[in-house]
Each structure stands twice: as C-alpha cells, then as structure tokens.
Amino acid sequence: MKPRFIALLAAALLVVATHASAQRGADGHLNIIYWQAPSILNPFLSGGTKDIESASLVIEPLARYDEQGNMVPWLAEEIPTVANGGVADDLMSITWRVAEGITWSDGTPLTAADVAFTAEYCMHPEGGCAQLSSFEHVESVTAIDDRTVEIKYSTPKPFPYGPFVGATSPIIQKAQFQNCLGTSAPGCTDANFMPIGTGPFVVTEFRPNDVISMVANDNYRDPDKPAFASLTFKGGGDATAAGRAVLETGEFDYAWNLQLNPDVLTNMEAAGNGKILASFGTAVERIMVNLTNPDPDLGDERSTRAHPHPFMSDLAVRQALSMAIDRDILNEIGYGSTGRPTCNVVPAPAIYASDANDACLVQDVAGANAKLDEAGWVIGSDGIRAKDGVRLSILYQTSTNAVRQDFQALIKQWWSEIGVETELRNVDASVFFGGDPGSPDTFQKHFADLEMYTNLFDGTDPENYLNTWRCDNEPNPGNGWQGVNIPRYCDPAYDAMLEEMAGTADLDERVRLTKAMNDKLMQEVVMIPLIHRGRVSAHSNSLGGIKMNVWDSELWNAADWFRQ
Amino acid sequence: MTDITQSKLEQQSKPRSQWLDVWDQFSTHKGALAGAGFFLFVLLAVIFGPYVWAIDPQYIDIRARNEGMSLAHPLGTDQLGRDTLARLIRGGQTSMAVGLTAMLLSLVVGTLIGVLAGYVRWLDGPLMRLTDLFLALPLLPLLLVIIMLFRETLRSALGPEAGIFLLMVFVIGITSWMQTARIVRGDVLSLKEREFVLAAVSIGTPGRRIILRHILPNVLSPIMVSATLGIANAIITESALSFLGLGFPSDFPTWGRLLFDAIDYLQQDPGRVLWPGLAISLTVLSVNYMGDGLRDALDPRIRGR
C-alpha cells in the first residue's frame, strides 16, 4: 500500500507542479551568461549586440522578426502593408497602431506619444544615436491619436520597416526619457541603466560590465508570463568559459555566441548538461573572384576594370573551379553543426533562398576537367592547363585563421586535380579587413585572383546587399579603394533588376527579383559560395521554450521560456 | 704525480696540431658532444629523411585525418590527414636552411663591421652608432614592414617560395649581426695593442695582412660562439614569423608553422604541438651546448684545464 500511496502523492504533486508552472514566476530563477558584458541598457546609445540583447528583455519594439525571419506584430496590432492600407500607395508613409491594453512596468499605459518620442530621441541632431540607420529617410513621426502613429518618408520606401522593428529599435518611455534629449542623453544614468519597459522583466540592479539582476514584470500583458520570477544576466569572460558554464558545469542556463572549434563544442556537449543551438542568418563564407587583372606591372590600373583578367574572365574556368570543390568536407572540417554547405550568396531568410544552384553541392572533378578541356585549356608537361600561353596559376588569399588555412590547403589539392596551380597567401585579419588604402593586402584591393572571407547583411531585406554588386560600386584608386563590389562585376542586366526592385513594394515580387539576382551571380560564378555559417548558443537541458533567432534578439521570446 | 708526467711525456712525443687540441678539449665537454651529435642527426635527418620517408608532406588524405601514431603514420596525421613525420622533416629542411644561411649572413656582416670598427680608428664611431641604431630597432615590426614592402617584387622575380626564403634569410641576417660586431670589435681593440701585432706593424706588414693573419684567427672563438647562437636565433625568429602567420605560404611547412597550426588541437592531440616544439627546442639547445663547448675549446687559456 505504502509505495502506491507515495506514487499517488507524487502524481498529485506533479499535477500541482505542472499547473503551477503556467503561472507567473513559478519557475524560480534563470541564469544567462553573455561572455561580452553589457555596459548600458539603452540600444540607442550603443551598437553592441550584448547591450541590444540584454535590453530586449526589458524594452520592446512594435514588431519583431521571428526565428524564420518573418515579421510578427509585437506591441502593434498588425503589420501595416499596402494591402491593408497601413502603407501609403506612393510608399511615402506607414501607419502603425499600438495594440490595446499594453502598460509600462510602472503601470501607466503605452501610447502613440511614446512611439513618436522614441523617434524624436533617436533623430535628435545632437544625440549621436547608434541606431540612426533604422531611421534613414524618415521625415517625421507623429502621434495621430493615442494609439496611432504615422511615419513619413522623404523618398519612396519599398521596405518601410526600419523604425520600431526589431531589437535595435525598441520603444522607450517618454515620461522617463523626456529630459534626456540630445547632448544630455548619455548623462541620464538612471534611465539608461534601468529603463522602464513593456517587456517581461524589470531591472532591479545594473552593474555596468558585470551583472544585471531582474525580476518579473508585474504589469506584463500576459498574466501567466514570464515563468521565471527573477533572472541574473552575467557578462564577461570568454566563449570557452561560457560554453563550459552551461554545457559542462551547469552553472548557467543559457550562453550566447559560442564561436568555437566544432570538435571543442562537441566535446563540451558530450558532458550531457545541455544542448547546442545553431541558427542560420545570412553569413556566407565565399571565395570572391577577381574579374580584373591583378598583375603588379599594371601599376595604378591593377585590379581595376581597365583590364579584364587573363583567365578568370572565362566563365568555363570559374565554373570548373566551383565544381571541383567538395563543400561537405569543408563544412565537416571547419564548422560541423555550426555551418552547412551552400550554393547561394543569399541563403536566408528562407523565402529568399533559391534552389536553382544546388548542383554545386556535389563535387564533380570529372565534369570540371571536361569543362576545361572543352574550353580549350590543355594540360601541359608540368600538369598545369594553359591556353594561348596563359597558365591557370592562381593566387588565392584570405585572412590568417586556422579554419581558412585548412580550406585553402584542401581546395588547392582539388584544383591541382583539374590542372590548376594554386599559390596560397594569408594576411593578418586586422590588415586584411582593416581597409587601410596604404596597404596592398586589404580585401578591397583584391591584389589576387581569388580571395576568401565571410560577409552577411543585417536585417531580413536583401536589397542593400544585392546593391553591392552594382556596376561602379567597385573599389578603385578613384574612391580610395572604399567600394564594396569586390569581384568588380558589371552587368547592365543585373543593374536593371536592381532598379526594378527599388520601386517594388510587393513581397512576392521582391522575392522573385532577389532569387533572380542571386541566381545570376551564382550561374556566372562571380563568387563561389562555400559555407552558410550559423550563430551558436547553448542552453541547459532544463530550460525550455527557446527559439533561437538570428534576425532579432536571441532573447526575443524570453517571456515564453520555462523550466522543464 | 707520476701519471701526469707520464702523460705529458706522451703528449710531447706525439706531434699535435692546434685543431686536435681543440677537439680534445671539445670532447671533454659532455653536453657539447651530445649537442653536436644531435645537431648532426637533425641535419642528416632533414637532408636524407625525404628519401627514407617518401610521403608527400602536402598530400591531403581526408579519410585519414586526426589519426594517432600508427605504422603508416609514425607520428600520426593532422586535421587534414597530412603525415606529421613527413611535415616535420620538410619543415626541418626549411627551418635549418633558414637558420644556417641567416647565421652565415649575420656572421659575415657582424665580423666585417666588428673588425673594421676595431681596427680602423676613424670608422669606429660611425660604425658603432650604426650598430646602436640597429640594436634600438624593434625587430618584429621592422620585419613586418620589410616583408610587406618587398614580398611582391621578390615573388614575381623568384617565385613564392624562393622569394620568401631569400627575404627571410635577409631580414633575419641583417637584424642579428649586432652582437657579433660588438664582441668582435672589443676583442680587436685589445688585440691590436698586443706585442705580436705591434711587431707585425713595425716590420711593415700591411693592414689587410695583419687582420687576416693575426687578428682574425684570434677572434675566431667569439665568432664561432656567436655563430652557434645565431643559428638558434634564426630558427626562433623564423618560427615566430610563421607563428604569426607571416612568411612562407600557409601550406608550406616549417617548424614554426607546424606549431602554430597545432595550437588549436592542444587538448585533443598534444603530440602535434609536442613534436615541432621538441624539434625547435632540442635543436636550439644542442646548438647552444655546441657553442658553449666551442668557446671553451677555442680559448687557449681555458684549454687544458
């Protein structure tokens, strides 16, 4: 009898426990570790991810991006579009409606005046707002009534979702910040360290560059959330220590941004205390082709459009180089679960990802050889292909980084199998990415035939990113080598698609254009994409409800987190 | 007592050259002997190793990566499946070649400047200020600038590997001659006031001949010692440059590069750090012992004690 009684009691307790966990504050304490410590909780005064993400627990925007990169209304009723009348037909204005019944943590209601004030705060000419780019081309933000706010633009905006969308542009309380405009903004320590917000948590203590203590917000809009009564947000240390604290020792529940060697991560995960989460944003490791001649004898015209490349301008050569690469092996060696092979330069958000180029995922050395034979590149006595006296001898550079040097060595071997000679070079990362016009080794100068690095775009809209490869955007001596079109690509057909996109607001059309441009770049092998790189975090086994998000703050849905 | 007289008698009965005396003294220094033995072994290993162990050090066998010690790969393989032993031998070739050539260069420059400064009075000031200038230059930043400036020209003239080799030897050579020059100058200054030099001057021996016949043989001991130290210094500088990711292309193994590549795998596969690290430190140690022994052996005042 006795064991059965205990079992019954346990079952009863379990029912009570499950029931209790659906209540606010029932799951006790949450420990989060970010190995970069937050120094301020006001994203408008800091561009640091650590500050933006820690603040996202407290202050919230009108709309957020979910884990797929789709926009979801957050403090707003719905996402304004041209179809529902929220965006004007001439694309010059957008009107948001604040959802009903949302209050600040001090009990006062959130109004359109707070939204308009936030814009005034960030756009103040003397303020030095870190998120000013979100407010680009904004002419005015006015509160029409208590719940309606209208943003007017100075030019037509096909993608008008800059202000008040995402973790970088949250709403701050007018009552708290109204004396902190312009030059007095950094001086408002109390407001910057303990902002009043609409989010699930309220700051009780903020120690800059160290620890933040928070408790659940009593006035949070969902009466059952958050499940945690309090949380500690610890900052500082390094990625390895943060990973250990969650995966090996279990001191913390959540660790952010663990960019570690895949073997190291796997070993940590094997301890069994937690799990690794990878989420894929827009970062792609790629090889950029140089379509212009980098010969040092050309002097000032080196790597400019004045001289096309002696052999890289041949499409067959570029295609063969891409075909000879086994992206699966590269991923296995360099990234493991934190990366995946890709054939696109716009691999995400999911709606923009093209599947027209997936053939490159399979290595095809025989096909590459056949392609070069067909194009008239003949293998010489030294094993290297040549045509009309031009040898396929490549200088392939990248930054100094263990994974990149492994990639170089592997790719060099594959290319030797198709009769291409490769010389490897690695440049110190601070020089390579430093952008110093006086150095010959920057990635902008591209004084090589190929170079490898990672690039990505912020947010979810790829228009600006695709604009990178517009004609005349390339670095050259005339603009102090500050351009962004690294392959020196120039095609009027591509530019025409960009023009079309600039005047298109309809999402489906934008998706079609994005895919078309991506496919054009890929099929002309202007660059050779290798790995779609993810962001990696870790959580303890007992923490549930996490939806890892690279488009917004990783803590975007902390209100839904619970203890399992 | 009788033993000593006996041996002295034996010594006198046999004709002895100076170099035999040096060797006798050198061979009593156990550390120097072991060092010389090891250095010879490394030298032979890197020269003839590739004929015995004929695996291509740059060949990637992706199926055999991160393997431990086995008969096929006595020291295991790296993260791309390249044979560690073959890479160690190939890396040793580069490191030793750089070390020896850079040492020769710095020796020639250092001796020339030291002798000139010591012997020719009006050259002393300018040459020693030049030496001070070189001593004051921070070495690594200087190397970085030189490599950045001249890499491209040498690469197009001589190809990537020979070009960088020349550049490395040159920069290491011209930044490490100063100690030799100072020591040699000091010795020359004291030697040229000695009676045998004065005697040579008084019978009208030309300066060139005095330097070659009387002074150089007498400063041989500090030169030899700085030569051995110079090898060690050059190997370490080359390793440091490769460790910083500069110098030779990344797939071209040198000891420093092997060590640099292995750092990330320290926990997983300590052997990969151990072998190149051991090779560098043992070679440098053996060379230092050799220098120590040579100093004792070449100094006639210490010899025989």
Break chain A into its structural domains and give their ranges: 19-58+199-273+541-564, 59-193, 281-378+395-400+442-535
Asked if B152's CB is within 8 angstroms of A428's CB, the reply is: no
Top residue of B56, B146, B251, B266 to mutate, by most chain A CBs within 10 Å, is B251
Residues from chain B contacting residue A333 (CB–CB below 8 Å): 62, 65, 79-80
The answer regarding whether domain A281-378+395-400+442-535 maps to CATH 3.90.650.10 reads no
- Residue B117 included in any domain: yes
Please report residues of B whose CB lies closer than 8 A to that of A329: 62
E strands in A378-506: 378-379, 385-387, 390-391, 393-399, 421-427, 450-455
pLDDT in tens, A206-264: 998 899 999 999 999 988 889 999 999 998 888 888 999 999 998 999 998 887 778 78
Q: What 3-state class would DSSP assign to A130?
A: coil
Please name the CATH architecture into which domain A59-193 falls.
Alpha-Beta Complex (3.90)
Residue of chain B minimizing CA distance to A264: B268
Whether residue A383 lies within 8 A of chain B, CB to CB, comes out as no
On whether residue B72 sits in a domain, the answer given is no
Other CB atoms closer than 10 Å to residue A174's CB: what's the count? 20
A62 Cβ contact partners less than 8 Å away, ≥ 6 residues apart = A73, A74, A75, A76, A96, A98, A115, A164, A165, A171
pLDDT digits (tens, 9 = 90+) for A291-300: 999 988 888 8
Write down the pLDDT at residue A531. 93
Q: How far is B257 from chain A (nearest CA, A)?
A: 11
Partner B contacted by A379 (CB < 8 A): no
Asked if residue B34 is part of any domain, the answer here is: yes
pLDDT score at B216: 84
Listed as own residue / partner, the contacts of A64-68 with beta carbons closer than 8 Å and 24 or more positions apart are A64/A165, A64/A166, A64/A167, A64/A552, A64/A556, A65/A165, A65/A166, A65/A460, A65/A549, A65/A551, A65/A552, A65/A556, A66/A547, A66/A549, A66/A551, A66/A552, A66/A556, A67/A279, A67/A547, A67/A548, A67/A549, A67/A551, A68/A349, A68/A350
Q: Which of A525, A532, A524 is nearest to A328 (CA)?
A: A532
| B29 lies in some domain | yes
Q: What H or E segment, with its residue span, contains residue A353? A: none
Asked if residue B6 is part of any domain, the answer here is no
Cβ contact (<8 Å) for B261 and A405?
yes
- Cβ–Cβ contact A410 with B under 8 A: yes
Share of chain A above pLDDT 90, in %: 50
Q: In sequence order, what are the residues at sequence separation of 6 or more whose Cβ sits closer than 8 angstroms to the Cβ of residue A266?
A: A336, A337
Name the residue facing A405 among B65, B156, B250 (closest C-beta).
B250
Which residues of B are less than 8 Å from A296 in CB distance? 152-153, 156
From A426's Cα to the closest Cα of chain B, the distance in A is: 7
CB spacing of B250 vs A333 below 8 angstroms: no
Mutation to test the B interface, candidates A244, A259, A260, A263, most B Cβ within 10 Å: A263
Other Cβ atoms less than 10 A from the Cβ of A390: the count is: 13
Q: Is A75 helix (H, G, I), strand (E, B) or coil?
A: coil
Question: Which of the 8 DSSP states describes residue A308?
Answer: B
Taking contacts as CB-CB distances below 8 angstroms, the residues of chain B near A267 are: 268
pLDDT (tens digit, 0 to 9) for every residue of chain B, 305 residues total? 455 555 555 555 566 777 788 888 888 888 889 999 999 999 999 889 888 888 888 888 877 777 778 878 888 888 788 888 898 998 888 888 888 898 889 889 999 999 999 888 898 899 999 999 988 888 778 877 887 788 778 877 877 778 888 888 888 888 888 888 999 999 999 888 888 888 998 998 888 888 888 888 888 888 887 887 788 788 778 877 776 666 777 778 888 888 877 877 777 788 888 888 898 889 888 888 888 888 788 776 666 55
CA torsion A466-A468-A473-A476 (nearest 10°) is -150
Residue of B56, B61, B63, B80 to mutate for A, most A C-beta atoms under 10 A: B80
Averaged pLDDT for residues A12-27: 59
Q: How far is B258 from A480, CA to CA, in rounded Å?
A: 38
Distance from C-alpha of A541 to C-alpha of A563, rounded to nearest angstrom = 9
**Total domains present in chain B:** 1
Higher per-residue confidence, A204 vs A484: A204
Say if the Cβ atoms of B249 and A423 lie within 8 Å: yes
Query: Which among A333, A408, A441 has the least Cβ separation from residue B250?
Result: A408
- HEC-encoded secondary structure of B29-97: CHHHHHHHHHHHHHHHHHHHHHHHCCCCCCCCCHHHCCCCCCCCCCCCECCCCCEHHHHHHHHHHHHHH
Chain A neighbours among B 242-261 (CB < 8 Å)? 244-246, 249-251, 261
> What six digits make up the tokens of B244?
């910083």
B264–A261 CB contact, under 8 Å? yes
Domain that holds residue B157: 21-52+77-298
Q: What's the confidence (pLDDT) of residue B303?
A: 63
From B156, B250, B263, residue closest to A296, measured CB to CB: B156
Q: State the pLDDT at residue B304.
A: 56
CATH number of the domain that B175 lies in?
Answer: 1.10.3720.10
Contacts of A228 (CB under 8 A, 6+ apart): A25, A27, A28, A29, A30, A216, A561, A562, A563
Judge: A333–B267 Cβ closer than 8 Å, yes or no.
Answer: no
Task: Check if B139 contacts A (Cβ < 8 Å).
Answer: no
Angle at which helices B18-28 and B30-52 cross, to 10°: 90
Rounded Cα distance between A164 and A359, Å, is 40
Among the four given CATH numbers 3.90.1300.10, 3.40.190.10, 2.40.30.10, 3.40.640.10, the one describing domain A19-58+199-273+541-564 = 3.40.190.10
CA angle A513, A515, A520 (to 5 degrees): 95
Per-residue pLDDT at A1 exceeds 60: no
Is the CB of B244 less than 8 angstroms away from the CB of A428?
A: yes
Q: Is the pLDDT of residue A288 over 90?
A: yes
Predicted pLDDT at A363: 92
Q: What is the tens place of the pLDDT at every residue in A421-479?
A: 998 888 877 788 877 778 888 888 899 999 999 888 877 888 888 988 988 888 888 88
Q: Which two tokens stand for residue B159?
A: 């190809």
Chain B residues in contact with A406 (beta carbon < 8 A): 79-80
Q: B81 CB near a chain A CB, below 8 Å?
A: no
Q: Give me the mean pLDDT over the A89-116 stretch.
A: 92
- The per-residue pLDDT for A287 is 94
The answer to whether the CB atoms of B245 and A400 lie below 8 A apart is: yes
- Write out pLDDT tens, residues A334-389: 888 889 999 999 998 888 999 888 888 999 999 999 999 999 999 989 889 999 98
> Considering only CB atoms, which chain B residues are within 8 Å of A248?
none
Average pLDDT over residues A390-398: 92
Q: Do B80 and A405 touch (CB under 8 A)?
A: no
Give the DSSP letter of residue B192. Answer: T
CA distance B94 to B287: 17
pLDDT at A50: 86
Contacts of B263 in chain A (CB under 8 A): 402
Residue B10: per-residue pLDDT: 54
Average pLDDT over residues A99-105: 92
Residue B303 lies in a domain: no
In a domain, B13, yes or no: no
Instruction: With respect to residue B69, please indicate whether it lies within any of the assigned structural domains.
Output: no
